[in-house]
Amino acid sequence: MTDHIFSVSEFTKLIKASLEHEPFFQNIYVKGEVSNVKSYAMGNQLYFTLKDETSQIRCVMFATSRLAFDVKDQMQVIARGKISVYEKRGEYSLQVAFLEPAGIGALALAFAQLKQKLLDEGLFEEARKRPIPLHLRKVAIITSPSGAVLHDILTTIRGRDPALQVYIIPAQVQGDAAAPSIVKALQLANTFGDLDAIILARGGGSVEELWGFNEERVARAIVASRIPVISAVGHETDFTIADFVADYRAPTPTAAAVKVSLPRNEYCQILLGLQDQLRQQLINQVQEKKILLSDFHMDLMDKAKGFVQDRRHNLGILEAKLEGFNPYKLIEKGYALVKKAGQVVRRAKDLQSGESFSLLFSDGSITAKVESLSLS
């Protein structure tokens, strides 16, 4: 027998060398459904399986911090990587260098995932957000110091409200360093004790260029700010996560400048309008109180009339009862009232023989004398 007989180890090494040194397998794209996802923060490692209707392959990805989205089971993805063979088990896997959702961009998916996450936490609720003061004295602007945006904002503010004090806090607003730079600038702005608002601004750009304003750490820094934050990122049609969590979203940086700079004449007009509204509210309240007082008076009068009528009725009943005990009514029926020395005599034994007394009738009285007594 002339054929070489390989040991298991030799054969596995041969397969490993053949696959891992074959250029075709060094940069290959595979599409499938994700399952059995396991991530390890230590080492930024991600393990998962890609499968279709009939087959599956194990995958591993290192440096997963570069991923803009969360990898979840049942997600359709496209993976680019190279074949790797694990000799001890004779297993092969795909070592992934790049991963993106199938049918949707990674950034778009990351945006949707974070938006839903923060929405579920209630961070987009208007009730959580603070109103921007009507008249501001001090504001901070976080933006690139070299961009046209800062010039536009300052020009607008100076033309509308020259008395407004402006603090410029430089920050990177594009690239990988944008998010940490924005967070640091927001934290610095919050060390100023008397700021009325913060403008977070940059001009328009692509999704990638604006991505620093879509990172979770920036969103949470905005929410944590004790000073109201105005998001003024991109053009009117551009929306970022920062727009949703900010206390106020300005469609453009110039619009943010208009929001914080109120000319004196406009301020006076607003105050006059508020004064008119307050006056009208007071008039309405007084009228409402008058109506309530009138209704209360009518109700009180009705109750008083009912009370008097009830008392009169009860008094009539008492009068009728008292009238029934009136001795003069009995006299009118044929009885006589016996009196002695002005006192009513109730019993015969109260009289003595020869004693005088009077008899009171309905039409007059007579005087009589006791001739004799007959007591039973």
Number of domains into which the chain is organized = 4
Residue 109: which of 150, 58, 71, 59 has the closest Cα? 71
Digit-coded pLDDT (tens) for 243-271 = 999 999 999 999 999 999 987 666 666 66
Give backbone dihedrals phi and psi of 326, rounded to 5 degrees, phi first: -70, 115
- Say how far apart CA 97 and CA 45 lie, in whole Å: 12
For residues 184 and 256, membership in a common domain is answered with yes
Are 128 and 176 in contact, with CB atoms under 8 Å apart?
no
- Say how far apart CA 139 and CA 232 lie, in whole Å: 14
Digit-coded pLDDT (tens) for 135-166 = 889 999 999 998 889 999 999 999 888 889 99
Beta-bridge partners for 6 = none
Q: Which two tokens stand for residue 57?
A: 């392959």
For residues 313 and 347, membership in a common domain is answered with no
Q: Is residue 70 part of a domain?
A: yes
Are 124 and 53 in contact, with CB atoms under 8 Å apart?
no
Q: Which residue range forms the structural domain that includes residue 297?
A: 268-325
The domain that holds 173 is classified in CATH as 3.40.50.10550
Q: Is residue 122 part of a domain?
A: no
Q: Across all residues in the chain, what is the average pLDDT? A: 86
Query: Which of 222, 241, 262 corresponds to the end of one domain?
Result: 262
pTM score, whole prediction: 0.55
Q: Is residue 297 part of a domain?
A: yes
For residues 155 and 220, membership in a common domain is answered with yes
Q: Is residue 37 part of a domain?
A: yes
Q: What is the predicted pLDDT for the residue at 1?
A: 46
Are 22 and 85 in contact, with CB atoms under 8 Å apart?
no
Q: Which amino acid is at 321?
A: K
Q: What is the predicted pLDDT for the residue at 104?
A: 65
Q: What share of the chain is helix, strand, coil (3-state, %, to 5)?
A: 40, 25, 35
Q: In angstroms, how far is CA 359 from the centroid of its own chain? A: 95
For residues 283 and 344, membership in a common domain is answered with no
For residues 43 and 94, membership in a common domain is answered with yes
Digit-coded pLDDT (tens) for 217-228 = 999 999 999 999
Q: Is residue 48 part of a domain?
A: yes
Q: Is residue 288 part of a domain?
A: yes
Q: 353: Cβ–Cβ under 8 A, 6 or more apart, which residues?
A: 370, 371, 372, 373
- Say how far apart CA 58 and CA 86 lie, in whole Å: 11
For residues 149 and 234, membership in a common domain is answered with yes
CA distances to 171, 187, 248 from 150, rounded to whole Å, are 12, 20, 19
For residues 152 and 245, membership in a common domain is answered with yes
For residues 88 and 144, membership in a common domain is answered with no
Query: Which of 215, 235, 262 corresponds to the end of one domain?
Result: 262
For residues 257 and 161, membership in a common domain is answered with yes
Digit-coded pLDDT (tens) for 69-117 = 888 888 888 888 999 888 888 888 999 988 888 766 777 888 888 899 9
Query: Which of 242, 262, 282 corresponds to the end of one domain?
Result: 262
Q: Is residue 3 part of a domain?
A: no
CA distances to 31, 52, 83, 220 from 127, rounded to whole Å, are 44, 46, 53, 17
For residues 278 and 349, membership in a common domain is answered with no
Average the pLDDT over 192-215 and give the result: 90
